[in-house]
Homo-oligomer: A and B are copies of this chain.
Amino acid sequence: MVGGGQLARMTYQAAIALGLTVRVLSDRADDSAARVGAEVEIGSPDEIEALRRFAAGCDVLTFDHELVPPQHLAALRDAGHTLYPGADTMALAQNKRRQRQELGALGLPVPAFSTVSSESDLLSFGEAHGWPARPVVAKAVRGGYDGRGVWLLEDVPAAQRLWAEVTARGVELIVEAWVPIEKELAALVVRRPSGETAVYPSVETVQVAGICREVLAPASIPPDLADETCGLARRIAEAIGLVGVMAVELFVVREDEQATGSSGRLVLNELATRPHNSGHFSIEGCVTSQFENHVRAVLDWPLGDVSLAAPAAVMVNVLGGPPGNDPQAELARALADPVVKVHLYGKDARPGRKLGHVTVLGQDLEDARARARRAAAILMGEG
């Protein structure tokens, strides 16, 4: 697994049960997965030589994040290494412009969007699709993450300021219609090379400032919308030749606003072609976790059952609290509620950094949510 973050760490846990040792390529020895792995190679996933050395000892390469340079992925593929997801899939996942273009071309519900190669492209899209009634949304074509690389533009001066800033930094943009969101969903899909595909029950994600804070499973949406969500995830997985786990993030458009931008109630937001924060609940919440199924998929083994293991599951992220807060030091207090399941990632605490998560299963979603929130608050130094 290329990258030593918490996704590699949790994949490692799952792989142990299958009798496997996942080798990890990690920037630093104190990265999340590097702290627990038996076979860790220190090296940068950004450097082709480190990648080549690492790939030489692996049967299959898979990824903890989407940030490996696409030319390196292509070079590894051309050198005969097996990459899952493949180099083309990874390149698509890294590029929001290509995602919009290619998924739009398939007739999938993407928001109105435009490529941007000049300030006037940005301004004319804003005039046509936003201002003054609504903002428009500019996004970096590459490298956005947890709310970074996304800008809400309210008016012409805001667009001009952003244009000056991104041209100075060499950042490419796309611009999209703002979507009036009723709720955000994620559909987790897993597919193996031979084509077998499974879609987890759709979940609702609660974002604050672009960062996922809570995941509620199952999403409380009408059955037809749930079916549509799963169907979209499956179509995308097949269209892009996915191997492994992918999260498809979607918006449910406010019912009174459907006229704008989309013919239906669902609008595609982003893809992540890897295990994803919206699927952490599956460790306890599903018969087979996203991490186990990712491993099974990249080995072309039969996929595990993705059914829910309880009527409701809630995951709450543990972000770094104020300076001095360390979730590890609060852990015993957080465990006072015996049904709370805590996952800490072994990362040094910093304000706002994803340091862990809490999952609670139950009969009742609101009760599970309250308990998970309470434990997470304790870990974040708020309880």
Contacts and interface: CB of A to CB of B under 8 A. Distances in A.
Interface in A220-264: none
Contact-size category for A: 35 or more
Interface string A330-363: 0110011011011111100000000010000100
A383 interface: no
A310 interface: yes
A63 interface: no
29 contacts: A9-B16, A13-B13, A13-B17, A16-B36, A16-B346, A17-B343, A17-B344, A18-B344, A19-B327, A19-B328, A19-B356, A21-B36, A35-B38, A38-B40, A287-B339, A299-B332, A300-B332, A301-B331, A301-B335, A302-B335, A302-B336, A302-B338, A303-B338, A304-B335, A304-B339, A304-B341, A305-B338, A305-B339, A309-B309
A12 interface: yes
Nearest to A360: B287
Interface string A147-189: 0000000000000000000000000000000000000000000
Contacts of A300: 332
Contacts of A305: 338-339
**Which of A40, A328, A338 is most buried by chain B, counting CB atoms within 10 A of its CB?**
A338
A34 B39 CA distance: 11
A282 interface: no
A19 to B, nearest CB: 3
Interface of A: 9, 12-13, 16-19, 21, 34-38, 40, 287-288, 296, 299-305, 309-310, 327-328, 331-332, 335-336, 338-339, 341-346, 356, 361
B19 A331 contact: yes
A315 B338 CA distance: 24
Nearest to A338: B305
Contact of A21 (B21, B35, B299): B35
Contacts of A21: 35-36, 346
A315 B363 CA distance: 25
A310 B346 CA distance: 31
